[in-house]
Amino acid sequence: MIYVFPTETVYGIGASVWDKEAIKRIFKIKGRPADNPLIVHISRIEHLEEIAWEVPEVAWKLIERYWPGPLTLVLKKHPALPYEVTGGRDTVAVRMPAHPVALLLIEKEGPIAAPSANLSGRPSITTYEHAVEELGDKVDVILKGKTTQGIESTVISLVGRPRLLRPGPITYEELKELLPELVVAKSKEAEAPGMKYPHYQPTHKLYLLTRPDGDFPEVKGAIWRKDIPLPRKLEKVFYYQNERELAQNLYYWIRELDKIGDMVVLGVPEKGLGFSIMNRLKKAAHAILQ
């Protein structure tokens, strides 16, 4: 059985880690390359013993502080865990989501392997309506619930030297305090195997503007900072007051603007949550304008 379900970050599309056929169907539905592994979602610590192998001391420190929550840990995989879940790797990404609907589903089904619910390459999904638009004719069950973070979990590898593979709601700066040896993985390492593929892209063009006084081509819509005047009148504008609000609404706004045409997004400084947001926007962008 395949479920589309909300988490505190974005919607996921998942199945029991033991149901290899359903897992294969998820790759097919999404159009996801088979070498891009899925995240295993658990609802209780005992599940970890079935999924991971030789969990290091440092993982427990992070788990205690951040689970349930938007932190994914890459660990050695349990020998019994199907390779379909890990894209053929000997490591597995695992997290405990902080969302009552997700936790209830996992309590019923056991550990759930789930990528983000968007079709491969497209922006993630953060509302029930967009989940229905994207997957309504492809899956049987879409569970409803509110996402609060709005961007995907932070991913850290703890196999070898601790590395940040994907920045997210829990910031690099914050993690560095607990884990001083943490480094940002070079993107050319393509360690989070998903990072080498196109990501988060709307159908229309998204221009990422790094300076509010910079010029941008003709567009229909914008995502813009509330206290900065927009230089032109546009058909539809979503305003954010701070980075948290931008993260929470980013994918919803991009998908809504994509319904009318090209868009411009005013970026944010690349620190804290801003670093995670810009990581997504740079990949979503058709062009980055200074």
Which residues sit at the interface with Mg ion, rule CB under 5 A? 116
Choose the binding region for ligand TXA from 193-201, 202-210, 233-241, 278-286 (rule: CB under 6 A). 193-201
Closer CB to ligand TXA, 189 or 235, in the complex: 189
- 116: contact with ligand TXA by CB under 6 A: yes
Question: What is the rounded distance in angstroms from the CA atom of residue 155 to the CA atom of residue 126?
Answer: 19
Phi/psi of residue 65, nearest 5 degrees: -80, -35
Q: Which of 80, 60, 9 is nearest to 39 (CA)?
A: 9
Q: Interface residues for ligand TXA in 143-182 (CB under 6 A)?
A: 152-153, 155, 165-166
Single out the residue of 2, 4, 10, 131 in contact with ligand TXA (rule: CB under 6 A). Answer: 10
Consecutive H or E run containing 255: helix 243-258
Question: What is the rounded distance in angstroms from the CA atom of residue 53 to the CA atom of residue 82?
Answer: 14
- 72: contact with ligand TXA by CB under 6 A: yes
- Extract the tokens encoding 13: 């599309």
Q: Could you tell me the smallest distance in angstroms from the CB atom of residue 247 to Mg ion?
A: 15
- 7: contact with ligand TXA by CB under 6 A: yes
Cα torsion angle, 150, 151, 152, 157, sign: negative
- Extract the tokens encoding 205: 């063009």
- 276: contact with ligand TXA by CB under 6 A: no
Closer CB to ligand TXA, 156 or 223, in the complex: 156
Q: Is 165 helix (H, G, I), strand (E, B) or coil?
A: strand
Partner that binds at residue 153, options ligand TXA, Mg ion, none, CB closer than 5 to 8 Å by kind: ligand TXA
Partner that binds at residue 247, options ligand TXA, Mg ion, none, CB closer than 5 to 8 Å by kind: none
